[in-house]
Amino acid sequence: MARKLTINDYKTNVWVDWCPGCGNFGILSAMYQAFADLQLDPEKTVVVSGIGCSGKTSHFINVSGVHTLHGRSLPYAEGIKLANPDLTVVVNVGDGDLLGIGAAHFVALGRRNVDLVVIMHNNTVYGLTKGQASPTLARGLHPKALPKPNLQDAVNPIGLAIASGYTFIARGYAARVQHLKELIKKAIQHKGSAFIDVLQPCVTYDNIHTYDYYNKRVYDLQEEGWDPIVKSLEEFPQKAAQALIKSYEGDGRIPIGIFLVNPHVPTFEERYAQRLPNYLKVPPAKEPIEVDGKTVITMRRFKELFGKYIIEFKQ
Amino acid sequence: MNELRYILGGPQGGGLETLSELLSWAYAHAGYGVISDREYFSNIKGRHSYIHATVSATELPRHLTYPVDVVAAMDAETVFTHFDDLRDGGYIIYNSDDDNVSFTSIPSMERDLRERLTSEFKELGVDGTVKSVVKYLQSNRKVRAVGLSFKELLMEIEKREGIVPSQASRYISTILAGAVAAITGINEEDLDYSLKRRFVREDLYRHNRAMANIVIEAVKGQFGSELKLDKSSVKVPGVLVASGNDIIAMAKTVAGVRFQAYYPITPAADESFTLEEYEALSGEGSIVVFQTEDELAAINAAIGAALTGARSSVATSGPGFDLMVEGLGWAGQNEVPVVVTYYQRGGPSTGQPTRGGQSDLLSSVFASHGEYPRIVLASGDHEETFYDAIDAFNYAETYQVPVIHLVDKFLANTIATIPLPNLDGIRIVRGNLAPKGLSGYKRFDLSSVISPRAFLGDYVMWYSGDEHDEYGHIDEDPINRIRMFDKRMKKLDMIEKEIPEERRYSYFGSERPDIVMVGWGFVKGAALKAIEELNGEGIKASYYHIRMFIPFPRESITKIAREVGVDKLVAVEHNYQAQASRLVAMNTGITIGKSVVKYTGRPIYVHELVNAIKNIMRGSVREVMSYGA
Amino acid sequence: MVNENDEFVPHAIHTWFGYLKVRGVIVTRDEGAKYGQYARDTQERIKNALSTYGWVYCVDCRKPLFDLNEALEHAKRGHLLTNEFMRDEVAAEEVPMVS
């Protein structure tokens, strides 16, 4: 493919049916720009999405898209990536999808460090089902769409990501598209599980966390000199603790940027490669299993493999 | 005229709900019967949405049909989508500012429809603008066109009264409400009632009252009230005007439900929201309405609550039910009374989240590995639903089994006038409860099929998903296994014996039918009306309405099949496989070879059902219906 | 009473009308368009919007635009561009649950 791809090449003709003004427009814009900057091959790139407004993202990007079940994007994404590690896999999920019904899978992915990117569209509500509190809405808050104030506390996504083992942890904001674009690029280039919590105003159901609200509060960690990189395994607990404390910052300040990067953890693919010498060279998706309709496990190979089960009789 | 049918259409989020309420409450207040269905996309703002209603002066209607008398359009997309739904001589109310909008310039219209319209407009010789469609309707179908300039009206109100900007779309709703009120001759008093009900704020009421007045004057002046309904002859002391979701929530409070766990899913969660609104029962009680992180948590939390003696339920739809299947098995194994209110939507998988269907019957009857007793009932209309919801809990506690109450999106989202329920006739049956003062309590006491049930907190007891002994401890002994398994499965024999056949079905129509429709759920409304219309054409039809699937109405269907002949039976269902007819075959050996089905996600309408039945009588064995946007 | 610095924000669904923030009145879109967010200093403002928000919304076409040239094209055709819409308290009540 000789021609350079532009952001227009990454758009589909599907009508973007998010509410006018939705924070998702910004996230989509950042994805288009990041994909174009990195010149991702559309055929080798897969966007996996869940259920919710963010779930529609895969239909708006002209790369392969897998619009999965509620809370299950990560297992789908892991299946895709582990069967063919040559694919670039980016997951777009909502906060409810990822940290409510999908929380078990979120934690499990952190333990594996599979090389993919998880972008969480964090709008504090379950938009498509009429605006119920999601796992990231703080207790006591009462967005107008809710009948009563929220009874449940918010989970700390950055903290949960740290404890689960994500090796690239960042936060972005839908109305700071340049900054978000760079985060997405770095996340894609990072080797391991990358998590980006993206603040996404919901213009229909959340009258609290508006663009104005975030504009007044977000600030760039890196601009304030925050160094997210873990220099050695020994340094990890201290760096992790600092990042955790930072993630609880209050006083009307919301840090965006990269919280933590840990390059010292082998990816899940690398761990498989330790036991499966051929895994990265010829992944499962590419494995030849037949020649002219005949199995590659010939009788000779079968006897070699399963010798200990076999008794052969002399005729 | 004694029946009025209308379509109200507009972009989602644009004021359709307000418009629909203004009209339905006005008609209901005037004593008319109303049924009002909402069709919408899985989208928050912008896509096309419409209300399809039947208003009757002679009955509380349960049916929807085409063509309609009025199409009231908030936008151009509505005109293009529904112009063909109008009868000759009907009314189209629309925004004349949209005259030059072409159907090709509507981003929210799906490609499929646009392509169909391209060929249709070509055939009709229409250039595809709103103006040309309206003109076509006027000249070819004698339709009356009520074109109102929304811009002028809005600016007029801004000048005269002012507009509350954050409530701006209300005023658009009122434009159309006024126009429909004018041509259908809604009384001043009835319209004012619904305006006051909807616009509690004084300024909003005043503004919208003024808007309605302007529109009514203009429209009445030009068109009169030709579609005014006859005075209502519906004689009921009172009605509930509510959606299926609301009705079930109300029924649950009456049934004594005090714990409901749910995860938001269309079209079930509105029930939980209504329940939550009344959770404190005006200060006299508590219903814990628990929003969980997923459906796995919901079913298991509900089961936990049931173990303590609280009447407990979940409300969900297909994708959610699938996640609850494991929990259901635990409830069956542990003889827990828990009710699953199952609202069916288009499947499989994510399917059609905002559309209806009846394709989860087999799933409800068979779901969960292993074998255990359950009861499955299904409701045909809002009135049935109220009483069925209460029965569900009585059955659950009497037999100590999970109960699945099947309803659907059609019921959930249609608002209907139903007679005020009779609460005097309702019994709350708690089943075999363990007495106080026992020692060595055995939850799974084998001396009776239904063991005396104590609650957590009364005695020490155990539960386990594993096969267990009478105390609830794990027990792998083969003889115990047989005894425990038999104990549970024998409940099905008791259920079979004790729940009368008449409770499991209803039969409507001719005793000597030419054709018998066999259906369940929302089919009922269309089928009953179809019988009337077919009768008018000399065809004697009847409708066999299945109300319970476990226990199955084996005897009655067998009798009917024998008396009229199997070839006179036709399955009518909102699913592909005619699932209920498969259960008929499984339970009785009778194969219903003919089917009339609809699986587009829209409800079966009377006119297409009548047509399909006539085709069946002419020799067709399968009719697939597809009317409706 | 015309204020040159007035700002017009359209209704998100009924895009044929909107709100003038300074005058505090509802006006038709035809009247308000000249006070639209991108009616003046179009190129500069669009550039800014694209580098912060990453999009501008074309009210006529009902879609977000992500590219400067495309946005200028729409502006040249007289389409109304905006990032902001009228505050709407009604939508949350009007929209059913849809998933």
Q: What pLDDT is stored for residue B327 in this prediction?
A: 97
Question: How far from A45 is each of A4, A51, A89, CA to CA, in Å?
Answer: 16, 20, 6
Q: Phi/psi of residue B127, each to 5°?
A: -85, 0
Contact yes or no for B165 and C96 at CB 8 A:
no
Q: What pLDDT is stored for residue A250 in this prediction?
A: 79
pLDDT band of residue A1 (cuts 50, 70, 90) is low
CB proximity B348 to C under 8 Å:
no
- Per DSSP bridges, beta strands B548-550 and B595-597 are unpaired
Nearest to B322 by CA among B380, B371, B363: B363
Q: Are residues B341 and B278 in the same domain?
A: yes
Say if B229 falls within a structural domain.
no
Residues of B in contact with C96 (CB under 8 A): 17, 38, 40, 266-267, 270, 354, 413
Q: Strand, coil or helix: what is A234?
A: helix
CA of B31, closest CA in chain C: separation in Å? 26
* Stretch A128-141: mean pLDDT: 95
Locate all alpha helices (DSSP H) within C14-90, ordered by sequence. 29-32, 42-52, 68-76
Q: Among B13, B108, B277, whose Cβ lies nearest the Cβ of A147?
A: B277
Q: What pLDDT is stored for residue B143 in this prediction?
A: 98
pLDDT (tens digit per residue) in B370-394: 999 999 999 999 999 999 999 999 9
> For the domain A7-270, what is the CATH code?
3.40.50.970
Residue with tokens 């386990």: B464
CA of C6, closest CA in chain B: separation in Å? 16
Contact yes or no for B107 and C93 at CB 8 A:
no
A54, closest residue in chain B (CA to CA): B43
pLDDT (tens digit per residue) in C35-92: 999 999 999 999 999 999 999 999 999 999 999 999 999 999 999 999 999 999 999 8
More confident residue, B282 or A124: A124
Q: Among C52, C55, C99, whose Cβ lies nearest the Cβ of A128?
A: C99
CB proximity C89 to A under 8 Å:
yes
CB proximity B82 to C under 8 Å:
no
Q: How far is CA B64 from the centre of its chain?
A: 12
CB proximity A126 to B under 8 Å:
yes
CB proximity B155 to C under 8 Å:
yes
Chains with 3+ CB–CB pairs under 8 A to C are: A, B
DSSP string, B358-417: ---HHHHHH-SSS----EEEE--SHHHHHHHHHHHHHHHHHHT--EEEEEEHHHHH-EEE
C62, closest residue in chain B (CA to CA): B107
Q: What pLDDT is stored for residue C92 in this prediction?
A: 87
- Residue B159, judged by CB atoms within 10 A of its CB (0-12, 13-18, 19+), counts as exposed
Residues belonging to chain A: 315
Q: Are residues B82 and B122 in the same domain?
A: yes
pLDDT (tens digit per residue) in A187-242: 999 999 999 999 999 999 999 999 999 999 999 999 999 999 999 999 999 999 99
Interface test with C, best of A7, A123, A203 (most C CBs within 10 A): A203
pLDDT (tens digit per residue) in B45-57: 999 999 999 999 9
Contact yes or no for A176 and C85 at CB 8 A:
no
Q: What pLDDT is stored for residue B282 in this prediction?
A: 82
> Is the pLDDT at C5 greater than 90, yes or no?
no
Interface test with A, best of B43, B44, B322 (most A CBs within 10 A): B44
Contact between B255 and B428 under an 8 Å Cβ cutoff? The reply is yes
Number of independent structural domains in chain B: 4
Contact yes or no for A144 and C98 at CB 8 A:
no
* Stretch B237-266: mean pLDDT: 96
Q: Are residues B213 and B268 in the same domain?
A: no
CB proximity C92 to A under 8 Å:
yes
Q: Which residues, other chains included, contact A132 with Cβ-Cβ below 8 Å and sequence gap of 6+?
A: A125, A126, A146, B264, B269, B291
Q: Are residues B119 and B266 in the same domain?
A: no
Contact yes or no for C53 and A29 at CB 8 A:
yes
- Residue A229, judged by CB atoms within 10 A of its CB (0-12, 13-18, 19+), counts as exposed
Say if B233 falls within a structural domain.
no
> Is the pLDDT at A82 greater than 60, yes or no?
yes
Q: Are residues B101 and B49 in the same domain?
A: yes
The whole-angstrom separation of Cα B524 and Cα B503 is 16
Counting one residue from chain A and one from chain C, the pairs whose CB atoms sit within 8 A come to: 84
Residues of C in contact with B154 (CB under 8 A): 17, 26, 28
The whole-angstrom separation of Cα B74 and Cα B53 is 16
Contact between B550 and B491 under an 8 Å Cβ cutoff? The reply is no
pLDDT (tens digit per residue) in B497-511: 999 999 999 999 999
List, in sequence order, every residue forming a beta bridge with A261; answer none if it has no partner: A168, A229
List, in sequence order, every residue forming a beta bridge with A260; answer none if it has no partner: A169
Q: What angle do CA A173, A177, A178 make, to 5 degrees?
A: 120
CA of A255, closest CA in chain C: separation in Å? 17
Q: Which residues, other chains included, contact A225 with Cβ-Cβ below 8 Å and sequence gap of 6+?
A: none
Q: Are residues B267 and B399 in the same domain?
A: yes
CB proximity B102 to C under 8 Å:
no
Residues of B in contact with C90 (CB under 8 A): 13, 15, 18, 166-170
Q: What pLDDT is stored for residue B609 in this prediction?
A: 98
The whole-angstrom separation of Cα B594 and Cα B138 is 41
Counting one residue from chain A and one from chain B, the pairs whose CB atoms sit within 8 A come to: 54
Q: Are residues B192 and B303 in the same domain?
A: no
Q: Are residues B112 and B18 in the same domain?
A: yes
Contact yes or no for B264 and C97 at CB 8 A:
yes
CA of C70, closest CA in chain A: separation in Å? 10
Q: What pLDDT is stored for residue B285 in this prediction?
A: 85
pLDDT band of residue B277 (cuts 50, 70, 90) is very high
Contact yes or no for A30 and C54 at CB 8 A:
yes
Q: Among C86, C97, C99, whose Cβ lies nearest the Cβ of B168?
A: C86
Contact yes or no for A28 and C88 at CB 8 A:
no
The whole-angstrom separation of Cα A135 and Cα A72 is 16
DSSP state of B524: H
pLDDT band of residue A3 (cuts 50, 70, 90) is confident
Q: Are residues B291 and B248 in the same domain?
A: yes
Q: How far is CA B142 from the centre of its chain?
A: 34
Contact yes or no for B264 and A100 at CB 8 A:
no
pTM (two decimals): 0.95
Percent of chain B with pLDDT over 90: 99
Which CATH number fits the domain that encloses residue B594?
3.40.50.920
Residues of C in contact with B158 (CB under 8 A): 25-27
B581, B582, B588, B591: CA torsion to nearest 10? 70
Q: Among B264, B294, B295, whose Cβ lies nearest the Cβ of A132?
A: B264
Residues of C in contact with B40 (CB under 8 A): 96, 98
The whole-angstrom separation of Cα B187 and Cα B212 is 12
- Please say whether the dihedral angle defined by the alpha carbons of residues B421, B423, B424 and B428, taken in this order, is positive or negative: positive
B162, closest residue in chain C (CA to CA): C25
The whole-angstrom separation of Cα A199 and Cα A188 is 19
Domain of residue B137 covers 3-223
The whole-angstrom separation of Cα A293 and Cα B483 is 53
Q: Strand, coil or helix: what is A169?
A: strand
Q: Is the peptide bond before B267 cis (omega within 30 degrees of 0)?
A: yes
pLDDT (tens digit per residue) in B335-350: 999 999 999 999 999 9
Q: What pLDDT is stored for residue A137 in this prediction?
A: 96
Interface test with B, best of A12, A13, A17 (most B CBs within 10 A): A17
Q: What pLDDT is stored for residue B103 in this prediction?
A: 98
Contact between A113 and A267 under an 8 Å Cβ cutoff? The reply is yes
Supply the mean pLDDT for chain B.
97
Measured between its terminal Cα atoms, the distance across chain C in Å is 46
Q: Decide which of B499, B526, B555 is a domain's last residue.
A: B499
Nearest to A226 by CA among A250, A253, A255, A248: A255
Locate all alpha helices (DSSP H) within B452-590, ordered by sequence. 478-498, 501-504, 523-536, 554-564, 579-588
pLDDT (tens digit per residue) in B135-145: 999 999 999 99
Q: What pLDDT is stored for residue C4 in this prediction?
A: 81
Q: What pLDDT is stored for residue C2 in this prediction?
A: 65
CB proximity C69 to A under 8 Å:
no
Say if B601 falls within a structural domain.
yes
Contact yes or no for C63 and B18 at CB 8 A:
no
Residues of C in contact with A179 (CB under 8 A): none
C63, closest residue in chain B (CA to CA): B107
Residues of B in contact with C14 (CB under 8 A): 11, 14, 74, 150, 168-169, 172
Contact between B617 and B570 under an 8 Å Cβ cutoff? The reply is no
Contact between B193 and B26 under an 8 Å Cβ cutoff? The reply is yes
Strand order in the sheet with B144-148: B144-148, B86-95, B68-73, B3-11, B48-56, B33-39, B415-419, B239-243
Residues of C in contact with A203 (CB under 8 A): 12, 85
Contact between B605 and B628 under an 8 Å Cβ cutoff? The reply is yes
Contact yes or no for A69 and B350 at CB 8 A:
yes
Locate all alpha helices (DSSP H) within A165-308, ordered by sequence. 177-189, 211-217, 236-247, 268-275, 299-305
Chains with 3+ CB–CB pairs under 8 A to A are: B, C
* Assigned token pair, A15: 């009508």
Contact yes or no for C66 and A28 at CB 8 A:
yes
Residues of C in contact with B167 (CB under 8 A): 89-90
Residue with tokens 């869940």: A50
Q: Are residues B215 and B315 in the same domain?
A: no
Helix (H) or strand (E) segment spanning residue B111? helix B111-124
Interface test with B, best of A15, A19, A144, A204 (most B CBs within 10 A): A15
CA of C1, closest CA in chain A: separation in Å? 29
Locate all alpha helices (DSSP H) within A224-298, ordered by sequence. 236-247, 268-275
pLDDT band of residue C3 (cuts 50, 70, 90) is confident
Q: Strand, coil or helix: what is A173?
A: strand
List, in sequence order, every residue forming a beta bridge with C19; answer none if it has no partner: C9, C26
pLDDT (tens digit per residue) in B385-429: 999 999 999 999 999 999 999 999 999 999 999 999 999 999 999
pLDDT band of residue C1 (cuts 50, 70, 90) is low
Strand order in the sheet with C63-65: C63-65, C56-58, C81-82
Say if B230 falls within a structural domain.
no
Say if B83 falls within a structural domain.
yes
pLDDT (tens digit per residue) in B441-486: 999 999 999 999 999 999 999 999 999 999 999 999 999 999 999 9
Radius of gyration for the alpha carbons in chain B, expressed in angstroms and rounded: 26
CA of B259, closest CA in chain C: separation in Å? 22
Q: Are residues B474 and B413 in the same domain?
A: no
Contact yes or no for C28 and B16 at CB 8 A:
no
Interface test with C, best of B41, B43, B44 (most C CBs within 10 A): B44
The whole-angstrom separation of Cα B465 and Cα A77 is 32
Q: Are residues B411 and B472 in the same domain?
A: no
